[in-house]
Amino acid sequence: MALPVSCVAVRGSIGVSLGQGPPSYEPVKSFPKDDSKTCKAMVFSPEGSYFAWVNGMSAKILHCDTWKVAIEIKRPKISAIQFSTRGTYFMTWEPFIATQSNPQGTPNLHIWKSESGELMKSLIQKKQSDWEPQWSSDEKLCGMLIGANVVLYEDVNFKKIAHRINIAKVANFSISPNNTPYYILCYMPGKSGQPSFGRLFQYPKFESTQALANKSFFQADRVNIYWNNIGTNALLMTSTEVDKTNASYYGKQTLHYLSTKGETSMVMLSKKGSIHAVQWSPKNTEFCVVYGFMPAKATLFNLKCESIFEFGALHRNSIYYNPQGNILILTGFGNLRGGIELWDVGKRKLIAKTEAPDTTLLQWSPDGEHFMTATTAPRLRMGNGFKIWHYTGTLLYERPWNEQEELWEVLWQTFPPNTFPEKTISYKAVEGIAPSQPQASKQAYRPPSARGETDAKYAVVCPFKDTTKIKKKTKKVKKEPEASASSQSHFNNPNTNGQVTTSTKNQLTTANVPECDDLERSKKIKRIKVKLEQISKLKEQLVAGKQLEINQLDKIKKEADLLNELEELAL
């Protein structure tokens, strides 16, 4: 029996559309394309039965086998949506509103039956971050964080709370992705001067003395929880907003391991600096971590938290396993160039390298052979579009976006587990296409005062249309007047390519730092330069015989670390 073809859903300022993946890339004719300019969200159900989106007037749910509308929920304020683990239930969130006449507000989180649209539960959830109720993989258990307590319901009986975790303040929790027995991992922040805890419980035993595993730690403003696919092992990444040692402007992270057998450990990392990414292998017996000052290290660990393979040090900050777990992508996006490494995990061997500059989104196809990269707004407003690649690093398809339109999101269609078996890895590149667009990230960032003319823009093409017909056209952009720093956008501006002029008066003699193509990184470099200038003045005072305060002497000691960070940011 032939394997199904995974479709690709696209959401942007021209609506929501659907196209077939490799090899045809043709539009799905039976899909009811939505041309609304206010499509706020879209999602496939985890097991692949449904597809849903919100268009500013209603939420629509379609059957993926026919692409026909199953239900429509006419609530224009819906901003976020999600399905339960098996797709049986559909959850919607709307901005919370309280008025003088109704200071308590009205329920803004709703749980519906996906097939019928029957409303199952309504409640208040003020914050959009982590708003989604959590479900066990069999949907027998549903949990929500309400206040500082975890509230748990059984068998979709929302009229009765089955259990409540309230032995301490809970800031975050996660239900394991396995069937019975269920495990729940909670992050319980400590009071001032007291440690925080990660506590692992087996449902429904929630007394502190009944915890299967306890991991204590200090300095945690937030915690991210990562389970392996079978729910037997978990990782806690603790993060602080500010590193009190001043070693990093990104704060400080630590990684902790817990298992349902009661084992705990701190994952020891061999390079100082931030933890950029953590990912479990779908094979469940190892995990990968990218960490340290740039160039960052990438290390594979086993369940004993022992290093079993080093991928070397490069400029990277992201990890993506394919669904089968036999191929691993290591890459660097954001303020990095977008170099992509594809590794054969079993053989610990590099398959291929390629580049996808300005990528804001990467996702593997369910078949484990193809992956998609996209440049999306609002993170980047220039060069929007997406590309589909083969795991040998070959570009197969690209869809550039009209410069007047924005691409917001691209999603692969989901399928039930084990639909696509693991295939033997080939190291021979398949036939592909050459990219039609220039790599904009290689152009230097230009401040408003130094902006000039730009050219080489590309013509409009429709979603999922053959890109071999793309033609170049040139367009002159008038030179902009000088603008104040306060008027700069946080995101890329269409008129930022060209040369950069800098005053030698503002350049530090301690390091030769090129201009950044990322505004955020430029700000960090500027802050470091200010600190180095302060240290330089303190050193002059010290040489002149002035007695300095202890904190001023400590500041001088940090000069070497600041220079190292400045050099790494400039790469």
Confidence of residue 555 (pLDDT cuts 50, 70, 90): confident
Confidence of residue 173 (pLDDT cuts 50, 70, 90): very high
pLDDT at 238 over 80: yes
pLDDT at 165 over 70: yes
- Residue 421 and residue 117: Cα distance in Å, rounded? 34
Confidence of residue 169 (pLDDT cuts 50, 70, 90): very high
Contacts of 290 (CB under 8 A, 6+ apart): 275, 276, 277, 296, 297, 298, 316, 317, 318, 319, 330
Q: What is the pLDDT of residue 91?
A: 97
Q: What is the pLDDT of residue 453?
A: 41
Structure tokens given for 373: 């990269």
Q: What is the pLDDT of residue 497?
A: 33
- Residue 352 and residue 328: Cα distance in Å, rounded? 11
Please check whether residue 135 is in contact with residue 142, taking contact to mean a CB–CB distance below 8 angstroms: yes
Q: What is the pLDDT of residue 530?
A: 85
Q: What is the pLDDT of residue 552?
A: 77
Q: What is the pLDDT of residue 561?
A: 77
Confidence of residue 89 (pLDDT cuts 50, 70, 90): very high
Mean pLDDT within 344-351:
96
Q: What is the pLDDT of residue 570?
A: 66
Region of 391 on the Ramachandran plot (φ > 0 left; ψ -120 to 50 alpha; else beta): alpha
Share of the chain above pLDDT 70, in %: 83
Confidence of residue 382 (pLDDT cuts 50, 70, 90): confident
Q: What is the pLDDT of residue 518?
A: 62
Mean pLDDT within 471-492:
38
Query: In this predicted model, which residue has the larger pLDDT, 298 or 479?
Result: 298
Please check whether residue 89 is in contact with residue 80, taking contact to mean a CB–CB distance below 8 angstroms: no
Query: Tens digits of per-residue pLDDT, 456-466?
Result: 333 434 455 54
Lowest pLDDT segment from 155-159, 313-317, 448-452? 448-452
Query: In this predicted model, which residue has the larger pLDDT, 301 or 541?
Result: 301
pLDDT at 439 over 90: no
Query: Tens digits of per-residue pLDDT, 25-68?
Result: 999 999 999 999 999 999 999 999 999 999 999 999 999 999 99
Confidence of residue 567 (pLDDT cuts 50, 70, 90): confident
Please check whether residue 242 is in contact with residue 218, taking contact to mean a CB–CB distance below 8 angstroms: no
pLDDT at 478 over 80: no
- Residue 1 and residue 3: Cα distance in Å, rounded? 6
Q: Which residue has the tokens 């301690």?
A: 510
Q: What is the pLDDT of residue 291?
A: 96
Lowest pLDDT segment from 334-338, 393-397, 493-497? 493-497
Q: What is the pLDDT of residue 457?
A: 35
Please check whether residue 365 is in contact with residue 372, taking contact to mean a CB–CB distance below 8 angstroms: yes
Q: What is the pLDDT of residue 188?
A: 93
Which pTM value belongs to this model?
Answer: 0.75
Q: Which residues pair with 197 in a beta bridge?
A: 188, 216
Q: What is the pLDDT of residue 391?
A: 97
Query: In this predicted model, which residue has the larger pLDDT, 513 or 322?
Result: 322
Mean pLDDT within 93-112:
92
Q: What is the pLDDT of residue 476?
A: 45
pLDDT at 347 over 50: yes
pLDDT at 79 over 50: yes
Share of the chain above pLDDT 90, in %: 63
Q: What angle do CA 201, 205, 206 make, to 5 degrees?
A: 70
Q: What angle do CA 107, 175, 282 make, to 5 degrees?
A: 125
Mean pLDDT within 258-282:
95
- In SS3 terms, 522-561 reads as HHHHHHHHHHHHHHHHHHHHHHCCCCCCHHHHHHHHCHHH
Torsion sign (Cα): 471, 472, 477, 482: positive
State which of 251-255, 375-379, 550-554 shows the largest mean pLDDT.
375-379
